Amino acid sequence: MFERRSPLDPTYRRSQAATRAPVQPTATARELARRLLATGDDARERRRIGQLLVDQLTAAGGLSRCELAVADRAQVHEHDGQKLLSKTYGYYRCWFEGDRVSRARIRIYNRTAVRQQVITSKVFLNTLLHEWVHHFDFDGLRLPRSPHTAGFFARLRALAEALEVAFVLPPERDADGNPILRYGVTG
């Protein structure tokens, strides 16, 4: 569903071409994003405020409802006994009736993979927005897959900028891999 494909693939090209913010967030959505950053470690409160934000974004985009689940447990991960090999911050899943999304769910793990500490609010919000852009890809752009193209990350960054929380994302990089400075600070 999220695998890499050839740049010649039509879905890849459509994802690559869509670079604008998926929605124009309301003042309420911007406030909810700020409130989410201010929440403490309580998974239930993060879920409550996060669901309100997802509902706002979904309504602004005219999309089908998307449920948010917050698992107050460690991220799914692979470890070789010495170092962490991979971890999953969260994921998006949807079901279809015909060619339309009939049901959708975002799941976010509230604790780090190894130490099982509560993830920071910035990481939580970044993950929420990332997974919501997958929802937009399937339900708004009606893509059969949601590849991680440069267009996908442009949509994610544009959404975070429209919400006035772009600082939660990793910094953009130039061709040499150096962080691009925005507003005088890096990500």
Domain extents in the chain = 10-168
| Mean per-residue pLDDT, 2-8 | 58
What's the order of all strands across the beta sheet hosting 67-74?
67-74, 100-111, 90-97
Helices 150-162, 121-135: axis angle to 10 degrees equals 120
Residue 183: its pLDDT value, please?
36
Nearest CA to 47 out of 126, 107, 115 is that of 107
pLDDT in tens, 76-97: 888 888 887 888 999 999 999 9
| pLDDT tens, position by position, 31-71 | 999 999 999 999 999 999 999 999 999 999 999 999 999 99
Tell me the pLDDT tens digit for each residue of 139-181.
999 999 999 999 999 999 999 999 999 998 887 666 666 655 4
**H helices present in 39-187, as ranges:** 43-61, 121-135, 150-162
